[in-house]
A = this chain, B = another copy of it.
Amino acid sequence: MPVVKVTWYTGRTHQQKAELARAITEAVVRIGKTTAEHTQVVFEDVAKEDWATAGVLESDRK
């Protein structure tokens, strides 16, 4: 029952998510010795207004 949560910036396309979900699931099944049916991938898109590195929101960077 692996659950893989991908937290990243908003902006990736449906196609990118579909491909990445497939690639991650394939890797988890092959390396983690589980089944695809038990593997879930969840995407959490975060706006640049909501993510800071080094104390600065990404949306405020020049």
List the interface of chain A (C-beta within 8 A of B).
1-9, 12, 14, 16-28, 31-34, 36-37, 39-46, 49-57, 59-60
Main secondary structure on A side of the interface with B: mixed
**B55 pairs with A17, CB closer than 8 A:** no
**B1 pairs with A40, CB closer than 8 A:** yes
- Give Cα A16 to B20, complex, Å: 20
Least distance between A7 CB and chain B CB atoms (Å): 5
Contacts of A42 on B, CB cut-off 8 Å?
7, 46, 50-52
Given contacts A12-B32, A20-B32, contact A55 B25 (CB under 8 A): yes
Closest chain B residue to A45, Cβ basis: B50
